[in-house]
Amino acid sequence: MSSYFTDLAQQYIDGEWRPGTGSWDIIDFNPYDGEKLASITIATVDEVDDAYRAAERAQKKWGATNAYARRAVFEKALAVIDEREEEITEVIIAELGGTRLKAAFELHLVREFLRESVQLALRPEGKIIPSPVDGKENRLYRVPVGVVGVISPFNFPFLLSVKSVAPALALGNGVVLKPHQNTPIAGGSLVAKIFEEAGLPGGLLNVVITDIAEIGDAFIEHPVPKVISFTGSDKVGRHVATVCAANFKRSVLELGGNSALVVLEDADIDYAVDAAVFSRFVHQGQVCMAANRVLVDRSIEAEFTEKFVAKVKTLKTGDPRDPQTVIGPVINSSQADALSGVVEQAITEGATALLHGSTTDNMVEPSVLTGVPADSDLLRQEVFGPVVFLVPFDGEEEAVRIVNDTPYGLSGAVHTADIERGVNFAKQIDTGMFHVNDGTVHDEPLVPFGGEKQSGIGRLNGETTVDSFTTTKWISVQHGRSRFPF
């Protein structure tokens, strides 16, 4: 087992590794076999304050540092990840129950986002804006917000921490990171260790491992952070947004989804099957962009369904350390129980289980359901696991209506032989992202990532990240004398 689970089972505050001073411990378990990986004494409100104050102090000098000099940290972080790739892979497998395929996918994206952060340090640009006043020069500066608070989830913790932490730092900010309690190492102290080894000055990045039962809203209410970047459920996201608004903070919310993959009658059925299976079952379906619903034109429903179910049956469920495993454990027992409840509810409501996977501890085998009633709440909510609903439709108009009939709007996909038909279909869907002839699960460093409706507020990646983690400052210069009315 990686030494990270002993060496990094601490808080990282002001450039120092130190134990928390809370009265209880977060126990980090392997979701596959229940092995205890680490015991971490939680951070208190005082330590949250220490972390934010450290970031605030360190940011002043960092924000004034030449952007070219800041780049070197991210270049070194990439080298550290290359050196430690196998150890990091072990952490992802053990702590998340992620398969080797999933770990490789996550590491690939982390590298891509770090490479973009190297360039992001040089991205902010100022402007000279014309003035109607003679002799006046309007300068618009793009400056760091100061300190960013980051709250990351359990499903892609390494990636989704780095995705906010790295650009926030690259743009001259300090950061305090709070990882999910189920993934404190992969989503928290591992990130701190990599940047520490990469030469990031102490105090700029702090990691507090804690729980709201201990700190309440202290992490988001604290006066120092000007932006809170949160990735997680819409329920918690709603609360984060409310508290941020009450404290005049900006929030960037990447929340849940209920994506649909749509197969039109002229689609390449075999290819659509492959895309749909990946889109639903990657990382056990614990992905915000995963295709909860697969919509199929009724004229090809029988052929698609037969091939889809056959392919799902080939997915190996089991030990995530086995390179042949496609579906490992879900993150915890409450998640496993909730998924079993979804399947039973669907059947009670009249659905047919074309494949009814069993649940043993945290191992949830795939279930494929059809005939879920059109008015069922199950078709409108996020299902975070290896359960999929097949939904037939008659024509594009009905497909558009069904896809949009959900409070979420994150991702989606459509398959068709006519690309422009697919683009026209995509334009009618209320989502932040949609893909033609591909899967629903995508993320790229330069393309704005985010959702509509209850799937979030704001965007990350590329120029939208600059907008999220910087602010504008107008400085005017009057050449000559202004005239005042009195």
The residues annotated as belonging to the active site are 254, 288
DSSP 237-269: HHHHHHHHHHTT-EEEEE----EEEEE-TTS-H
Q: Which residue has the tokens 């629903």?
A: 440
Q: Provide the 3-class DSSP secondary structure of residue 398.
A: helix
Tokens of 113: 């986002």
* Strand ranges in 269-383 using DSSP code E only, listed in sequence order: 291-297, 352-355, 359-360, 363-364, 367-370
Q: Residue 152: CB partners within 8 Å, gap ≥ 6?
A: 160, 161, 164, 177, 178, 179, 180, 183, 187, 188, 231
Cα separation of 412 and 426, whole Å?
8
Start-to-end C-alpha separation, the chain: 76
Provide, for the chain, the percentages of residues in helix, strand and coil under a 3-state DSSP scheme, each rounded to the nearest 5.
40, 20, 35
Nearest residue to 455 (alpha-carbon basis) of 184, 178, 241: 241
**CA 100 to the chain's CA centroid:** 19
Q: Which residue has the tokens 């972390």?
A: 51
Question: Phi/psi of residue 207, each to 5°?
Answer: -125, 125
